[in-house]
Structure 1
Amino acid sequence: MELAKVTSKGQVTIPIEIRKKLGIKNGDKILFVEEAGKIYMLNSSMDALREAQRAFAGEAERLGLHDDNDVMEMIKEIREESVVK
């Protein structure tokens, strides 16, 4: 457990161990989420990445993409189609 003090301006210095665990760097934005009566602090970039991962879940299988070679082949086909048009 870490402890931090709130300044008169409402600012808090996030302890280094917490910043490391959340992957927070200078200039990053922090997201505060209330859930089930608790407030969670998240690295907003990591939260956006997780949301994108959830949104794309199952798409590779739906498209028949099983490995990197399948992805590269799909990209090649899309590029060829765009050149023909």
Structure 2
Amino acid sequence: MNIAKVSANGQVTVPVEIRRKLHIKDGDKLLFIECSNGIMINNASAVAVVQAQDVFSGAAKDFDVQTEEEVQGLIDDLRYGKQKVS
């Protein structure tokens, strides 16, 4: 069990053990989710990564990419537009 004290400004110091378990680093944002049995706290950055992985699941097969260079090429095409090489 870990206990944290709330300051007069509403600030809480997350115990080091919890920061390690949630991989919380300086500047990370915390996500508070209301559940039927209380409040769940998650590292918002980690949640975003998992959600992105779910969204992109199977995308490599759909776009027929097999290497990191091909992925970067797709990103560059989207970001800068396709450039023809003569």
**Between Structure 1 and Structure 2, which shows a larger proportion of helix residues?**
1
Return the TM-score normalized by structure 2: 0.69
Q: Which runs of 4+ in 1 moved over 6 A?
A: none
2:58 equivalent in structure 1: 58
Separation (CA, whole Å) in 1 of partners of 2:41 and 2:6:
15
Return the TM-score normalized by structure 1: 0.69
The residue type equivalent to 1:12 in the other structure is V
1:38 equivalent in structure 2: 38
The residue type equivalent to 2:35 in the other structure is E
Query: Identity of aligned pairs, percent?
Result: 40
Root-mean-square deviation (CA, aligned residues, Å) is 2.7
Classify the secondary structure of the residue corresponding to 2:82: helix
Structure 2 runs not aligned, ≥5 long = none
2:5 equivalent in structure 1: 5
Number of paired residues?
Answer: 80
